């Protein structure tokens, strides 16, 4: 019952390293056990208590318009980040001025009602660029070294994920690239129901409801010092996609350990994806592939594609049964 999480990594020329995390004696304390199994018996490498009570996470969200989505995001942030976790800061990097006052109002209302002062609002008068927004947000921080969680407005996270974020990052040693669970289009998934369930009821990990986004590298936890030392994002990449993969590859070629594993407390909420004409051919292709993957499973999409054939078959079956 005290087990929190476990990850392992196998190196083909050495063996397997296990990191097991257990809940400690107090709310913010954890016990981490590291085991190494060479191609032989298991060896204990480390047994230590890990206290995360003072480990702050700076959640950085780049945004343009989408005030309705931001309101939904702040409901999740308030419940999981403020009320359940409490060791969190929010940095919103906003592009342009359209819907800006509405977004600021949502942020200020949350601040007042939840007595939450740990937020930063940065406004940029330029075209939206996710990499630029995250880079500006990360560099704006003036406090001590902090864990950065690069996040999007259509992400839902749990308090358990925030602890995984802390436990799988270490300055100068480890960065965390979780594999999140991505929702399919609820209108397709629950189209045969009388109504679409509430958001909380949709957060179920099943092959019918979504998929593990193992090709996505946008949501990541890393210490600010590592982000600065690696050189941050490539700001020459404009528009949708590419900047996150470039940063991920830089870490792969560094001396830091990149932890890549599925997590149960991180969801990408479905939204209709728009692929803009001004994207490069490669970016547009990536965007369209992502759009197709987000709608439904192969089986569910197949049912839509062959809907007419299925209905024709059912009609013939009815006629056949009436004749007999």
First to last CA, the chain: 60
Task: Say what the pLDDT of residue 193 is.
Answer: 64
Instruction: Give yes or no for residue 61 having a pLDDT over 60.
Output: yes
CB within 8 Å of 84: residues ≥ 6 apart: 159
Asked if pLDDT for residue 189 goes beyond 70, the answer is: yes
* pLDDT at residue 69 greater than cutoff 90: yes
pLDDT of amino acid 309:
80
* Res. 301 pLDDT band, cuts 50 70 90: low
Give the least confident one: 23-37, 179-193, 255-269.
179-193
| Number of neighbouring beta carbons within 10 Å of residue 22 | 17
pTM of the model: 0.82
Tokens representing 54? 């003072």
The C-alpha angle 44, 46, 48, rounded to 5 degrees, equals: 135
Phi, psi (deg, nearest 5) at residue 297: -70, 170
Q: Which of 138, 116, 118 is nearest to 60 (CA)?
A: 138
pLDDT value at residue 192: 67
pLDDT above 90 (res 165)? yes
Query: Residue 126 burial by CB count (10 A; 0-12/13-18/19+): exposed, middle or buried?
Result: exposed
Phi and psi at residue 113, to the nearest 5°: -70, -30
Please give the CATH superfamily to which domain 57-268 belongs: Spore Coat Polysaccharide Biosynthesis Protein SpsA; Chain A (3.90.550.10)
Residue 288's pLDDT is: 81
Average pLDDT, rounded, for the chain: 89
Give the separation between CA 159 and CA 136, rounded to whole angstroms. 26
Q: Give the per-residue pLDDT at 324.
A: 62
Task: Kindly state the average pLDDT of the residues 84-111.
Answer: 95
pLDDT for 191 equals: 74
How many angstroms separate the CA atoms of 113 and 132, rounded?
Answer: 31
* For residues 203-208, average pLDDT: 87
Higher pLDDT, 55 or 201: 55
**What pLDDT does 265 receive?**
93
Mean pLDDT over 204-219 rounds to 89
What's the rounded Cα separation, in Å, for the pair 31 and 29?
Answer: 7
Q: How confident is the model at residue 208 (pLDDT cuts 50, 70, 90)?
A: confident
Q: What is the 3-state secondary structure (H, E, C) of the chain?
A: CCEEEEEEEEECCCEEEEEEEEECCCCCEEEEEEEEEECCCCEEEEEEEEECCCCCEEEEEEECCCHHHHHHHHHHHHHHHHHHHCCEEEEEEEECCCCHHHHHHHHHHHHHHHCCCCEEEEEECCCCCHHHHHHHHHHHCCCCCCEEEECCCCEEECHHHHHHHHHCCECCCEEEEEEEEEECCHHHHCCCCCCCCCHHHHCCCCCCCEEECCCCCCCEEEEHHHHHHHCCCCCCCCCCCCHHHHHHHHHHCCCCEEEEEEEEEEEECCCCCCCCCCCCHHHHHHHHHHHHHHHCCHHHHHHHHCHHHHHHHHHHHHHHHHHC
Is the separation of the CB atoms in 298 and 306 below 8 Å?
no
| Residue 96: band (very low, low, confident or very high) from pLDDT cuts 50, 70, 90 | very high
**Residue 238: its pLDDT value, please?**
62
Of the CA atoms within 13 Å of residue 62, those in its CB half-sphere come to 20
Tell me how far CA of residue 171 lies from CA of 144, 206, 222, 232, in angstroms. Answer: 12, 35, 8, 15
Please give the Cα distance from 4 to 120 (Å, whole number): 31
């Amino acid at each position: 019952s005290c087990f929190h999480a476990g990850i392992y990594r196998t190196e083909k020329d050495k063996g397997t390293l296990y990191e097991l995390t257990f809940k400690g004696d107090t709310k913010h304390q954890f016990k981490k056990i590291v085991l190494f199994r060479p191609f032989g018996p298991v060896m204990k490498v480390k047994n230590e208590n890990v206290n995360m009570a003072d480990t702050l996470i700076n959640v950085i969200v780049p945004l343009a318009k989408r005030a309705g989505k931001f309101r939904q995001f702040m409901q999740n942030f308030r419940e999981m980040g403020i009320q359940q976790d409490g060791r969190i800061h929010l940095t919103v990097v906003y592009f342009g001025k359209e819907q800006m006052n509405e977004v600021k109002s949502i942020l200020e209302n949350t601040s007042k009602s939840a007595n939450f002062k740990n937020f930063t609002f940065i406004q940029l008068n330029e075209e939206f660029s996710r990499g630029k927004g995250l880079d500006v947000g990360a560099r704006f921080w003036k406090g001590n070294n902090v864990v950065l969680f690069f996040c999007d407005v259509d992400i839902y996270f749990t308090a358990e994920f925030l602890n995984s974020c802390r436990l799988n990052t270490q300055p100068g040693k480890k960065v965390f690239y979780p594999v999140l669970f991505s929702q399919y289009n609820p209108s397709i998934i629950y189209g045969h129901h009388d109504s679409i369930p509430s958001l909380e009821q949709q957060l179920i990990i099943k092959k019918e409801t979504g998929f593990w986004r193992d090709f996505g590298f946008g949501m990541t936890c890393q210490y600010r010092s590592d982000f600065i030392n690696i050189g941050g994002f490539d700001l020459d990449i404009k528009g949708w996609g590419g900047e996150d993969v470039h940063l991920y590859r830089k870490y792969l070629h560094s001396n830091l350990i990149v932890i890549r594993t599925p997590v149960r407390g991180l969801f990408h909420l479905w939204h209709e994806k728009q692929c803009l004409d001004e994207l490069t051919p490669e970016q547009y292709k990536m965007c369209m592939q992502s759009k197709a993957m987000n709608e439904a499973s192969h089986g569910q999409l197949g049912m839509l594609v062959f809907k007419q054939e299925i209905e024709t078959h059912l009609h013939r079956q009815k006629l056949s049964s009436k004749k007999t």
